[in-house]
């Protein structure tokens, strides 16, 4: 069959890499893709809903897999379904779980799922008055803000500044509504689930490292590396998360007439009172997916097709034993202003159980690979345990030529 992956990051390279191994996949397209997906790339932007729909229709694509949040919130899945095409990813109404944090809170509350207590404000004066008394408090922009819309405010002064920053106009419509949330503590874990609108099939849990520097210091980034599964995660925690958070949320979305199909990604905090939902994403994580695709033993395509068709019953996901680690190699300066067009040299042969996923790369004249983004490569390895996976991933970074590469040593 013909499969189209939408997106341009490391996540999409990892999905394409796994899909290409499926005997079910006869032809693969990635729109627009990156240097790692060269050969599959189609020059259509990931947010060009009309052009993507036209392409899928004209080429009779059998399955479209949507990577990033933007096309989901723009309604790409709905546009494709309206043409009778199969899609992995939620429609616009269900993607609101990621697109609006206030909506996600409303669904969590209606579902009776554990989460931080929260107040929602559209009036800046009311938000300021509440936030300064509530500190320490977490101030969040309601809408999509490319990972920059959450401010943990320790003091009343920081809380005031956070409300002013978000509501002051810099965030546009995404900041017109703010949330002031109870400050929770504990380890953070992400649980991604394949969903068919009714049931959820959990993936291996993953732990992102969002801060730029070792020891969780420095500014937030898109994600500097992932461990899967993290040492704190247990089968009991998985069962509790599915029972108290994932299934009730899926049931509530169904009740609202917006059943969720695709990947539901729950950001959790493991508090002393059990797992609580911090946020949802309506898609695969980046770089979580890079580690997860190395661990998935099963063919990914039947899982994606079952979700798209709304029936996961009879489909299983088998995972390889052990653990996987993804180390993100970024351009010097990232997450601030960073250098571009840095020449990259990759090893010709990769050791077993490893992969180098491209995030921001491009070929020049077909023979020179250059950096073309902040996060450039996701160096990923599997091992018998986390320590083995980590050692293998870091050994692989040593064989990559990437002048000035910045990466964390403590994933």
Residues forming contacts to ligand AMP in the complex (CB under 6 A) are 116, 138, 140, 150, 152, 181-184, 188, 267, 278-279
Q: 286 contacts which partner out of ligand GLY, ligand AMP, none, CB within 5 to 8 A by kind?
A: ligand GLY
E-strand ranges in 300-374 read 323-330, 343-344, 354-358, 361-364, 368-371
Tell me the C-alpha distance between 73 and 52, whole Å.
15
Please give the residue whose beta carbon sits closest to ligand AMP in the complex.
Answer: 279
Residue ranges that bind ligand GLY, judged by CB under 6 A: 208, 223, 281, 285-286, 288
> Going by C-beta distance under 8 Å and a sequence separation of 6 or more, which residues neighbour residue 104?
96, 97, 98, 277, 279, 280
Residue number, 5 or 56, with CB nearest to ligand GLY? 5
C-alpha to C-alpha distance for 340 and 53, rounded to whole angstroms: 32
Asked if residues 118 and 127 have their Cβ atoms less than 8 Å apart, the reply is: no
Minimum CB distance to ligand GLY smaller for 128 or for 264: 264
Nearby residues of 58 by Cβ (< 8 Å), 6 or more positions away: none
Residues 33 and 45: their CA atoms lie apart, in Å, by 9
The alpha-helical segments, DSSP class H, found in 211-328 are 235-241, 247-255, 288-295, 300-309
CB of 179 to ligand AMP, least distance (A): 9
Q: Which does 120 bind (CB under 5 to 8 A by kind): ligand AMP, ligand GLY, none?
A: none
Q: Which does 288 bind (CB under 5 to 8 A by kind): ligand GLY, ligand AMP, none?
A: ligand GLY
Shortest distance, position 28 Cβ to ligand AMP, whole Å: 31
CB of 167 to ligand AMP, least distance (A): 17
Instruction: Let me know the angle formed at the C-alpha of 378 by 21 and 385, rounded to the nearest 5 degrees.
Output: 80
Question: Residue 237: which residues within 8 A CB-CB, separation 6 or more?
Answer: 189, 205, 270, 275
281 binds, among ligand GLY, ligand AMP, none (CB under 5 to 8 A by kind): ligand GLY
183 binds, among ligand AMP, ligand GLY, none (CB under 5 to 8 A by kind): ligand AMP
> Which residues have CB under 8 Å from 221's CB, separation 6+?
147, 210, 211, 212, 330, 334, 335, 374, 375
Of 1 and 152, the one with the shorter C-beta distance to ligand AMP is 152
Q: Least distance (Å) from ligand AMP to the CB of residue 97?
A: 12
Min. distance of Cβ 195 from ligand AMP in angstroms? 19
- Residue 307 Cβ vs ligand AMP, minimum distance, rounded to whole Å: 23
Could you tell which of ligand GLY, ligand AMP, none binds residue 240, using a CB distance below 5 to 8 A set by kind? none
Which is closer to ligand AMP, CB of 24 or CB of 184? 184
Take residue 146 and report the two structure tokens written for it: 């490319």
Cβ neighbours of residue 172 closer than 8 Å, sequence gap 6 or more: 143
Residue 383 CB partners (closer than 8 Å, separation 6+):
322, 323, 324, 325, 353, 389, 390, 391, 392
When the beta carbons of 189 and 204 are compared against ligand AMP, the nearer one is 189
If the CB atoms of residues 181 and 238 are measured against ligand AMP, the closer one turns out to be: 181
Q: Which is nearer to ligand GLY, 220 or 298 (CB)?
A: 220
Nearer CB in complex with ligand GLY: 100/281: 281
With CB cut-offs between 5 and 8 Å by kind, which of ligand GLY, ligand AMP, none does residue 116 bind?
A: ligand AMP
CA dihedral 28, 34, 36, 39 (to 10 degrees): 40
Half-sphere exposure of 212 (CA within 13 A, CB side): 16
Name the CA dihedral angle for 273, 278, 279, 285, rounded to a multiple of 10 degrees.
Answer: -90
Minimum CB–partner distance for residue 278 and ligand AMP (Å): 4
Min. distance of Cβ 207 from ligand GLY in angstroms?
10
* Shortest Å distance, C-beta 152 to ligand GLY: 17
Smaller CB distance to ligand GLY: residue 62 or 286?
286
């Amino acid at each position: 069959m013909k499969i189209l992956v939408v997106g341009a990051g490391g996540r999409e390279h990892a999905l394409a890499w796994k899909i290409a191994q499926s005997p079910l996949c006869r032809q693969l397209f990635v729109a627009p893709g990156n240097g790692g997906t060269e050969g599959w790339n189609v020059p259509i932007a990931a947010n060009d809903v009309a052009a993507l729909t036209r392409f899928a229709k004209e080429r009779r694509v059998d399955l479209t897999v949507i990577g990033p949040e933007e096309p989901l919130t723009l309604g790409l899945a709905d546009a494709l379904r309206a043409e009778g095409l199969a899609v992995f990813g939620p429609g616009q109404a269900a993607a609101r779980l990621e697109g609006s944090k206030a909506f996600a809170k409303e669904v969590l509350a209606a579902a009776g799922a554990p989460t931080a207590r929260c107040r929602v404000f559209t009036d800046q004066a009311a938000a300021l008055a509440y936030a300064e008394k509530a500190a320490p408090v977490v101030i969040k922009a309601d809408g999509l803000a490319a990972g920059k819309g959450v401010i943990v405010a320790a003091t009343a002064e920081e809380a005031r500044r956070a409300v002013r920053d978000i509501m002051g106009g810099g965030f546009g419509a995404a900041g017109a509504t703010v949330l002031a949330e109870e400050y929770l503590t504990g380890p953070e874990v992400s649980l991604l689930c394949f969903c068919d609108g009714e049931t959820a099939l959990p993936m291996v849990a993953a732990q992102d490292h969002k801060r730029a520097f070792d020891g969780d210091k420095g500014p937030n980034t898109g994600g500097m590396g992932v461990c899967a599964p993290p040492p704190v995660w247990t089968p009991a925690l998985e069962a509790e998360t599915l029972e108290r958070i994932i299934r009730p949320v899926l049931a509530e979305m169904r009740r609202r007439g917006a059943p969720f199909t695709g990947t539901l990604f729950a950001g959790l905090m493991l508090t002393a009172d059990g797992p609580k939902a911090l946020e949802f994403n309506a898609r695969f994580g980046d770089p979580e997916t890079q580690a997860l695709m190395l661990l998935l033993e099963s063919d990914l395509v039947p899982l994606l097709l079952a979700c798209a068709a709304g029936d996961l019953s009879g489909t299983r996901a088998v995972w390889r034993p052990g653990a996987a680690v993804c180390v993100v190699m970024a351009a010097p300066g990232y997450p601030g202003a960073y250098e571009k067009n840095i020449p990259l040299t990759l090893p010709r042969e990769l050791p077993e159980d490893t992969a180098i996923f491209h995030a921001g790369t491009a070929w020049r004249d077909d023979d020179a690979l250059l950096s073309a983004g902040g996060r450039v490569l996701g160096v990923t390895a599997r091992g018998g345990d986390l320590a083995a996976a980590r050692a293998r991933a870091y050994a692989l970074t040593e064989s990559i030529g990437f002048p000035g590469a910045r990466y964390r040593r403590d994933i």
